[in-house]
């Protein structure tokens, strides 16, 4: 009796499933279509997924054309810029009393090059009001260039209008210290390569060259 009742229950469930399955499949198809229409409505008209990448490539070219060769190499290799501040803005970093780290879409970080002491964060932003679609943020390299130009053109005004905070408000101090250590190693390696490329010191004995008769003379 129990076996027959269980069999009848299974058969009833199967029959009910066959009855409701077309309805469920149809509802699922209609739901998917509604989701697709909603996604198309939310997507910006004419949106091109590759536009962000091309914008960043153009921004990198512009940044490279504006900053020094050293600064471009630093940004290319490390992902940030270090710019001396104060009266010696633009001078050698090691001779400046303080300097700034410029990150894409993060605050300027002031620090002391001689000791690595972190001073302040200066929150500045440069939104892109010209874009009718997508994010209002500038491409990373454009944001770095905008901060670099504002800082080198009028440091006092930029930091005066920025929101100032103690280190660690938005940028992890440990990350900054790691980046400063990376910058120090990068500078040392750059100097080592520069020394290797320098010509021999004056007064060094010139290499010998052979005369036409086979004798040797100084070049």
pLDDT tens sequence across 92-126? 555 678 999 999 999 999 999 999 999 999 998 87
**Distance between CA atoms of residues 12 and 171, nearest Å:** 63
What confidence tens digit (pLDDT) does each residue in 170-200 have? 999 999 999 999 999 999 999 999 899 887 5
Q: Find the helix or strand (DSSP H, E) in which 101 lies.
A: strand 99-102
| 89 plus 166 within the same structural domain | yes
Which residue, chain included where needed, has tokens 């997508």? Answer: 134
pLDDT on residue 21: 57
Domain count, the chain: 2
Cα-based angle 52, 176, 178 (whole degrees, multiple of 5): 105
Cβ-based neighbours of 146, under 8 Å, separated by 6 or more? 126, 138
**Distance between CA atoms of residues 138 and 144, nearest Å:** 9
Where in the sequence is the domain holding 133, given as residue range(s)?
52-197
**Residue 216 pLDDT level (bands cut at 50, 70, 90):** very low
pTM of the predicted protein model: 0.66
| 147 plus 114 within the same structural domain | yes
114 inside domain: yes
Alpha-carbon distance values, 169 to 34, 112, 163 (Å): 43, 18, 11
């Amino acid at each position: 009796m129990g076996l027959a009742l269980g069999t009848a229950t299974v058969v009833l469930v199967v029959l009910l499933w066959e009855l409701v399955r077309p309805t469920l499949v149809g509802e699922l198809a209609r739901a998917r279509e509604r989701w697709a229409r909603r996604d198309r409505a939310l997507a910006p008209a004419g949106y091109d997924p590759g536009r962000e990448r091309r914008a960043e490539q153009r921004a990198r070219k512009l940044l490279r054309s504006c900053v020094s060769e050293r600064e471009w190499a630093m940004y290319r290799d490390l992902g940030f810029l270090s710019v001396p501040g104060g009266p010696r803005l633009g001078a050698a970093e090691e001779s400046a009393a303080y300097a700034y780290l410029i990150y894409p879409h993060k605050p300027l970080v002031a620090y002391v090059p001689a000791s690595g002491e972190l001073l302040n964060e200066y929150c500045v932003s440069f939104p892109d009001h010209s874009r009718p679609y997508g994010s209002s943020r500038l491409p990373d390299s454009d944001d770095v260039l905008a901060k670099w130009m504002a800082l080198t053109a009028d440091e006092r005004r930029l930091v005066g209008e920025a929101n100032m905070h103690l280190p660690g408000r938005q940028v992890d101090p440990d990350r900054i210290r790691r980046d400063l250590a990376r910058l120090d190693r990068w500078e040392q390696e750059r100097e080592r390569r520069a020394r290797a490329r320098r010509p021999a010191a004056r007064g060094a004995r010139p290499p010998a060259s052979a005369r036409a008769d086979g004798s040797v003379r100084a070049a």
